Amino acid sequence: MGVALSLENKIALVTGGSRGIGAETVRLFIEAGARVIFNYRSARAAAEALVAACGGPDRCRAVEQALGTAAEGRLLVQTAVDAWGGLDVLVVNHGVWPAHDAPIDTMADEQWRSTMGINLDSVFGLVQAAVAQFKAAGASSSKPAHLVLVASTAAQRGEAFHADYAASKGALVALTKSLSSELAGQGIAVNCVAPGWVATDMSISAFATEAGRAKVFGTIPLGRVATPAEVAGPILFLCTPWAGFISGEILNVNGGAVLVG
């Protein structure tokens, strides 16, 4: 029979769900029995294809909405609640990684502010609104709610020439620990998944050349980058009863990279 990772009858919101890690998370959550709503910024065709592949609007829905401010985060949560009358799981997966190197002494204010708006300010709004919804719905140890933030290896060891990204993701690690201390006793489990390099549209340019692959793969003991599904699986696990005694955890999914960093 195997062991089931079930989210039967749960309602989940996954941000940045049209591609990469987000899309794989949506697929897995649907397979686990959840109903899922996700947002996308510009990938309409990919979003519509994913909804169709996941059973259509009775199981999966897509919302076109950018996430760059706290207000936009709160709006997306309200949209999810309005769609199906509640919310049990929030996966904060969206983010931006400016691919060009930006030395700190020349980094533009606009880049810093944009990265923080997308990677951090909107997360505040999402978390604030979701926690309010979880509490209003009566989250408890017997009826737990789940919040998973997706950070990065860069949050823990930094990333030269990408200080904006590393700082924003480092804040998510601290936010995970703070929220867990605040909310675990109220039936709201807060955890973080911290991927290393993953084969997604956002990062693929970094290892598109032989030199880039050698640079990236040389930092990973497993000798390769992750697939999106290899990150989505741990996200799913953290939202199931099998993770019922886990809160405040930073789950590294990086092929051992942080240990040698």
Residues 156 and 174 sit within 8 Å (Cβ to Cβ): no
The superfamily in CATH containing domain 11-260 is NAD(P)-binding Rossmann-like Domain (3.40.50.720)
Angle between helices 122-136 and 70-84 (to 10 degrees): 40
The kind and range of the H/E element at 191 are: strand 188-195
Contact present, 92 and 148 (Cβ < 8 Å) = yes
Q: Could you identify the residue written with the tokens 């880049």?
A: 111
Give the pLDDT score at 212.
73
Among residues 38, 97, 165, 207, which one is catalytic?
Answer: 165
User: Tokens in use for 69?
Assistant: 């401010």
How far is residue 86's CA from residue 77's CA, in Å, rounded to a whole number? 10
Residue in this structure with the two tokens 């829905």, named with its chain if needed: 61
Angle separating helix axes 122-136 and 163-183, nearest 10 degrees:
20
Q: What is the pLDDT of residue 261?
A: 47
Whether 220 contacts 207, CB under 8 Å: no
Q: Would you write out the chain's pLDDT as a tens digit for each of its 261 residues?
A: 678 899 999 999 999 999 999 999 999 999 999 999 999 999 999 999 999 999 999 999 999 999 999 999 999 999 999 999 999 999 999 999 888 999 999 999 999 999 999 999 999 999 999 999 999 999 998 899 999 999 999 998 889 999 999 999 999 999 999 999 999 999 999 999 999 888 877 667 776 777 777 777 778 888 888 899 999 999 999 999 999 999 999 999 998 887 754
* Catalytic-residue membership of 165: yes
What was the pLDDT predicted at 203?
67
